[in-house]
Copies of this chain bind each other. A is one copy, B any other.
């Protein structure tokens, strides 16, 4: 019998309890042993819920109980999550989590603590919710050098981008609607400013490089400046606009950015709509692959947490994945990264065309219905620093959006 303690009976925690109730038999079969939830830590009581008999209010009871093999941290936030995880690992307990903020901030240290105590720190649910991505990266794509990971890693913003693109609704309207039906938080900053996606791509970049990629080093731009006009230009170019979190890697060089991108309609990520997430991976042998599914939500996230519990149960006295070391990886400067840029300028194309060609080199102009008194163009591949130098020579730039190829 393997005993589990769940820290936090919120959305994900109650989902984990529910997955165990529904799929107990499958879980036991895959784990090769009986896996049972012994405690659920929460400050609250739940007198109407059968979970009540498992509820404890004091973490000490869990960490001091030697029969607890696996601790599931689904509280979120940095504290007390960090302290509870650290102490659980030090007590020789495996830890499973969905807490991306904690993994991104203290992953290297907690992985080291896990290794020193011959246990595992597993966090499949921290990226892409229910979508298996971390385990495929570390146990399936083992013969490939991963050269690119580009993800739609935030369901809230993808829902908003989809509505804006297909329904022509504007940003404020769509945000209000997303809040009204529960797809966006009252305070949506972590989603719309790209911070959530940034932590997720930091985790994936750390896994791929084997070194600590600090999320604070990743240039992050949210969707708050995207307008209906931008969407009209995208349609004109047979493209969509998506908030992408992307990393590219060439030998030891690694670049990462979170920003809205113009994405060609034929790209596999372009048809990922609504609250769904997807992660595009390019390996040097594999070529292109994509993993798609529910990036958030109670049951999908709980599915990934429960699968990590099964993994921890199978290998509970052996560290199976080291993921990454504490050595910090310095990212390529954003200014040195090459790509195309889509630019909107006010004024008439005719008046600026020559100056634009002289400054940016080869460009392709775009005009869109409903965007009068302005025009757009897409540059050739250039460094972001070069783009910025060129753009600084114009005082009529309305907006720039990076273009994915």
The contact of A287 among B144, B288, B297, by CB within 8 Å, is B297
Min CB–CB distance A54 → chain B (angstroms)? 18
**Is A27's CB within 8 Å of the partner chain B?**
yes
- How many chain copies does the complex carry? 2
Q: Given A130-B286, A136-B132, is A19 in contact with B143 using a C-beta cutoff of 8 Å?
A: yes
CA distance A201 to B294 in the complex (A): 24
Residue of B268, B271, B288, B307 near A140 (CB, 8 A) is B307
Given A286-B304, A287-B293, 4 more pairs with CB closer than 8 A: A135-B135, A135-B136, A266-B273, A288-B294
A236 part of interface (Cβ distance < 8 Å): no
A selection of 16 A-B contacts at a CB cut-off of 8 Å is A19-B285, A26-B144, A27-B142, A27-B143, A130-B287, A142-B307, A143-B307, A143-B309, A283-B303, A285-B300, A286-B293, A286-B294, A287-B300, A289-B292, A289-B293, A291-B292
A30 within 8 A of partner (CB) = yes
B-facing residues in A284-314 (Cβ within 8 Å): 284-294, 297, 299-300, 302-304, 306-307, 309-311
Mask, A135-172, CB within 8 Å of B = 1, is 11011111111000000000000000000000000000
| Minimum distance in angstroms from A320 CB to a CB of chain B | 9
Known: A30-B142, A132-B141. A303 touches B288 (CB 8 A): no
A153 CB to nearest chain B CB (Å): 15
Q: Please, what's the 1-or-0 string for A241-275, where 1 marks a CB less than 8 Å from any CB in chain B?
A: 00000000000000000000000001010010100
Contact A293–B293 (Cβ < 8 Å): no
A271 / chain B contacts, CB cutoff of 8 Å: 268, 271
Counting chain B CB atoms within 10 Å of each CB, the highest count among A283, A284, A289 belongs to A289
Q: By the criterion CB–CB under 8 Å, are A302 and B289 in contact?
A: no
Could you say which interface size class chain A belongs to?
35 or more
B130 close to A289 (CB less than 8 A): yes
Instruction: Judge if A73 is at the interface, Cβ distance under 8 Å.
Output: no
Taking CB atoms, residues of chain B closer than 8 Å to A309 are 143
Instruction: Decide: B299 and A286 in contact? CB cutoff 8 A.
Output: yes
Q: Which residues of B lie under 8 Å from residue A302 when comparing CB positions?
A: 285
Q: List the 8 shortest-distance A-B pairs measured between CB atoms, nearest first.
A: A143-B306, A289-B293, A132-B140, A30-B142, A285-B303, A290-B292, A271-B271, A142-B310
Residues of B within 8 A of A304 (CB): 140, 286
From B285, B299, B303, A22 is in contact (CB under 8 Å) with B285
Chain B residues near A179 (CB-CB < 8 A) = none
> Please, how many angstroms separate the alpha-carbon atoms of A297 and B286 in the complex?
10
Asked whether A139 lies within 8 Å of B143 as measured between CB atoms, the reply is no
Q: Is the CB of A288 within 8 A of B299?
A: no
Docked-complex contact A300 and B284, CB < 8 angstroms: no
CB–CB B307/A141 < 8 A: yes
Residues of B within 8 A of A292 (CB): 268, 289-292
Residues of chain B contacted by A141 (CB below 8 angstroms): 132, 303, 307
Choose among B23, B143, B268 the residue that contacts A285 (Cβ–Cβ < 8 A): B23
* B26 touching A143, Cβ below 8 Å: yes
A310 to B, closest residue via Cβ: B142
Of B145, B266, B288, which one neighbours A23 at CB under 8 angstroms?
B145
Q: Which of A22, A139, A145, A311 has the most CB of B within 10 A?
A: A139
| Contact A294 to B303, CB < 8 A, known contacts A26-B142, A143-B26 | no
Q: Does A193 contact B (CB under 8 A)?
A: no
Kindly report which residue of chain B lies nearest to residue A266, judged by CB atoms.
B273
- A22-B284, A136-B135, A288-B293 given as contacts; is B143 within 8 A of A303 (CB)? yes
Question: Which residues on the B side are within 8 Å of A303 (C-beta)?
Answer: 141, 143-144, 283, 285-286
Residues of B near A285 (CB, < 8 A) are 15, 18-19, 22-23, 130, 299-300, 302-303, 306
A41 within 8 A of partner (CB): no
| Chain B contacts for A283, CB-based, 8 A | 130, 303
